[in-house]
Amino acid sequence: MLEIRDVYKSFGKQKVLNGVSLKVSPGELQVLIGLNGSGKTTLLKILTGLLEPDKGKVQIGGRDVTQLPPEERYIGYVPQHTALFSHLTVKENILYSLHHGRGSEETFHHMVDLLALEPYLGRKPGELSGGYRSRVALARALTSTPKAMLLDEPITEVDRAKKEHILPLFRSVLVEMNIPVLYITHDPWEAEQIGTSFSIMKDGNVTRINSPAEAFAIVREQALCDGE
């Protein structure tokens, strides 16, 4: 279980997170929908350990990790831009976590097989399409055997036609890992394709919803109110 309990964060007089609580179960792929400025970047930084909350807790598998540094949290992270090491091969990128005592060769081979990366192991990231760079970033994160996964708009470099192929692939791989997954996007179609559950971030808080359509109805209504 990935659990955020009553998390607050302010920067000076600006309140960014206002009592955020969120639960993601093993095998659940929860999509968090939020526009720019809603607080989702701050929340991600708190989850990964780059920021400390003013108040509240972050727990993974029942363990309080609020005060732990990023490397001790065992969270896999795929950023918006894949952040692969350009001087390393695909294989070296995926195996990177093994140099820090995380993951295994067995997991590496499993990820390579699931994500169909075998023909590309000797290539550098610059030789790959956006879709395959995203696959490598996901394989690298999962090879580290994380206890939870965060994906922050991980396929922005991929066009719509390729997303139609890669999203079902990502979904099946992530669900198979049977760990809590939090997936960030502002695209309702993408959210519908990837998620098993949904929530919306608005005004520094998170609310569970039934579908991406519901989230974007809320966003549109707020935009109309703001424009009056």
Task: Name residue, tokens 């760079």.
Answer: 133
Interval 11-21: pLDDT, tens: 999 999 999 99
DSSP string of 180-210? -EEEEES-HHHHHHH-SEEEEEETTEEEEES
DSSP string of 138-185? HHHHHHT--SEEEEESTTTTS-HHHHHHHHHHHHHHHHHHTS-EEEEE
Helix (H) or strand (E) holding 223: helix 212-227
Task: Name residue, tokens 């991600």.
Answer: 44
Kindly state the percentage of the chain with pLDDT values over 90: 66
**Cα–Cα distance, 176 to 99 (Å, whole number):** 25
Phi-psi region of 180 (alpha: psi -120 to 50; beta: other; left: phi over 0): beta
Task: Name residue, tokens 């952040």.
Answer: 83
pLDDT at 223 over 70: no
C-alpha torsion sign, points 56, 183, 178, 133: negative
pLDDT at 82 over 70: yes
**Cα–Cα distance, 133 to 84 (Å, whole number):** 8
**Cα–Cα distance, 208 to 120 (Å, whole number):** 39
pLDDT at 226: 53
Note the pTM of the prediction, 2 decimals.
0.89
**Cα–Cα distance, 24 to 114 (Å, whole number):** 24
Can you name the residues that pair with 5 across neighbouring β-strands?
57
Q: What is the DSSP letter of 97?
A: G
Confidence of residue 120 (pLDDT cuts 50, 70, 90): very high
Interval 160-181: pLDDT, tens: 888 888 899 999 999 999 999 9
